Amino acid sequence: MTLEMWITLGILVIAIILFITEWLRVDVVALGVVIFLMVSGILTPEEAIYGFSSPVVLTVAALFVVGGAALQTGLADAFGRRILALAGNSPLKLTAVIMGTVALLSCFISDMGTVAVMAPAILSISWRSKIKPSKLLLPLSIGSLLGGATTLIGTPPNIIVSNLLVKNGLAPFKFFDFTPIGLILLFAGIIFITITSRWLLPERTVSTDVQRVETPDELVQLYKLPEGLFRLRVRRRSPLAGQTLNEAALRQNFSVTVLEILRTPEPRAIAKVGDRRLVLQEEEAKSISPTPQTGLRPNDILICQGEPDDIAQASAYWKLGLQPAQADDKEALVNNEVGVAEVLLPPRSSLIGKTLVSTHFGSRYKLTVLDISRPREEELLSLKETELQFGDTLLVQGAWKDILALRKRRRDFVVAGQPEAMSGPPAQAKAPLALLILAGMLILLIANITPITTAAMLAGFLMVIVGCLSIDDAYEAVDWKSLVLIAGMLPMSTALQKVGLVNLGAEWLSQTLGQMGTIPIMATLFLITSIFTQVISNTATTVLIAPIAFSISQKLGVQPHAFLMLVAIASSTAFASPVASPVNTLVMGAGDYRFSDYLKVGVPLIFVSLIITVLVLPLLWPL
């Protein structure tokens, strides 16, 4: 082992530890890898920043935009619901249809987006068919992971291993090259889950009914929010006149949330006759979205949400006029600009153990928490004093853009449901165009007319041009943390090869297991990859393991395609832990799952996948 090898190995080990513990965000760790590889002299600056211009990064970014358009136009939601409508009430048939449907969507859209769209529909079906959500939601997440492994664009690891072939002067994988083994694994997974679900999947009743909702409007009704709506008028002699909402502290002191401000415009002069002026008084009040800095004026009408006693106390303290809410005031809760959504706290959220007050939630995220619910907890939880726990669900209210911004903070939040649907009818009317562009991209890829990067970037560009999503929405659809992770870890792969660690690891595995044949080596690679993907992202796992797999195939004198496909497939077997994939975390609270539930289902399914993969791949890709 040379000094360069030890330095590179040290950087890698530290990165893996940080990935597992999440003491730092994964994208920060990836950037640190790039920097330290440059500082140490292992890589030149050109080699270290290569990842940021890699075709893999550009392709994945473009596919995020395409998937975001399919979600925002309602295309994915409509497609999924139509298929689920055929499932009926049979538990076994329902499980099979759910897994097949989500797998089909995951072939073209990110796993997270697919599950976020499908989960509310599944919960509604569960409620109507009287089947426990715990019997359906884990199959949903597993189906999305298996579906991503069936096409070239289904998941980033598939694109990474294909690009590795190109870098080594070999033909890349085609669009449907993953499909034969992917479909076999999917069918095996469906059969395994449907047969064993009676014993392996728990049957729990979630104590809270919060998880049954499908839309923001249903959330409003479920939480009985309209019953807590009132109007408070700022009188001319009220001390509140002239103060900002932040100074008024209605939320902090009285648990009263201001949803909207109705302000009658000041009269304006339109003519002057002698010493008199003719003024025009506009009757229609102007709607103002409140912010902490919004100043209050006399005669402002505050549409507020809160308990009647709290509203009465705030009214008396600030000398406000109290009025009942009107029929259309509930639009202040949900419209095309603002709305409500449920947000789940994953295991490593930085909010765990803290209160909403100590985290400055409102000012930090520009959202208001209207309710906190907790699995197996029926008592009303205090918004001020409750210390948040893993699995808590926050009902938040505010601008849709701020709700969607929480999706970028995957470590802290999982946004349930589909806020994208609130983009309104104009976006949904673009669904046929989105379908046409998606079909065109697939034709280009299937017919091998253009490289995958070209087809994906063209499709993403057209989605923006025709209005399926705005350019701002396109930026928000991209998971920038994942892109930085890929761009930052690709240079680590280069460094491992440059200093000789890849050859060293490949030689050790070849000598240790080479006498036993290729099947034991493939099985070992599968297990190593699968174990890594339970604790760090499938992307980082693939970047690290794929070069070793390629080197082993070269030392054994066989074609590398089977080995690289094996690594990509194994990286998608994130079944055995709720933190192995965001989709597992998303269904955990709604299904009331525990860590042991993932192990019971995931570990046997990983070994089923291992056996099928090592036996079938050599037949599809002769060694």
pLDDT of residue 423: 44
Q: Which residue has the tokens 């083994």?
A: 181
Tell me: do 56 and 38 sit in the same domain: yes
- Residue whose C-alpha is closest to residue 484's, from 543, 433, 412: 543
390 occurs within a structural domain: yes
**Domain shared by 289 and 187, yes or no:** no
The whole-number pLDDT of residue 257 equals: 85
* One domain, residues 171 and 193: yes
pLDDT tens, residue by residue, 544-596: 899 989 988 888 888 899 999 999 999 999 898 876 777 887 677 677 788 88
Domain containing 28: what range? Answer: 3-207+441-620
* 146 and 50, same domain (yes or no): yes
- Is the residue at 68 inside a domain? yes
Tokens 């004198």 -> residue = 557
Same-domain pairing of 73 and 13: yes
Both 450 and 395 in a single domain? no
Distance CA 442, CA 410 (A): 29
Is residue 329 a part of any domain in this protein?
A: no
Report DSSP letters for 165-233, one per residue. Answer: HHHTTSPPPPTTTTHHHHHHHHHHHHHHHHHHHHHHS-----S-GGGG--SHHHHHHHTTGGGGEEEEE
Q: State the total domains in the chain.
A: 3
pLDDT given at position 275: 60
Residues 470 and 599 in one domain: yes
Do 359 and 505 belong to one domain? no
- Domain check: are 261 and 151 in the same one? no
Last residue of a domain, one of 416, 433, 460: 416
Cα separation, 29 vs 595, whole angstroms? 26
Looking at the structure, do residues 291 and 412 belong to the same domain, yes or no? no
Same domain, 536 and 479: yes
Q: Does residue 163 lie in a domain region?
A: yes
* Other Cβ atoms within 10 Å of 144 Cβ, number: 31
Phi, psi of 289 (to 5 degrees): -80, 120
Residue 151: DSSP 8-state = S
Last residue of a domain, one of 283, 299, 324: 324
Low-confidence ranges of the chain (pLDDT < 50): 207-214, 420-426
* 111: CB partners within 8 A, 6+ apart: 144, 145, 147, 148, 155, 581, 582, 583
Give the model confidence (pLDDT) of 40-53 as tens digits: 999 999 888 888 88
Phi, psi of 286 (to 5 degrees): -95, 135
At which of 264, 290, 324 does a domain end?
A: 324
Would 330 be classed as within a structural domain? no
Whether 253 is in a domain gets the answer yes
> Residue 270 sits in a domain of what CATH number?
3.30.70.1450
Is the domain of 138 the same as that of 182?
yes
Q: Which residue from 342, 339, 343 is spatially nearest to 331, judged by alpha carbons?
A: 339
Separation CA 580–CA 620 (nearest Å): 29
CB 526 within 8 A of CB 613: yes
- pLDDT given at position 213: 44
Q: Let me know if residue 60 belongs to a domain.
A: yes
Collapsing DSSP to helix, strand or coil, 4 comes out as: helix
How many CB atoms are closer than 10 A to CB 13?
10
Give the residues across from 279 on adjacent strands.
269
Residue 431 located in a structural domain:
no
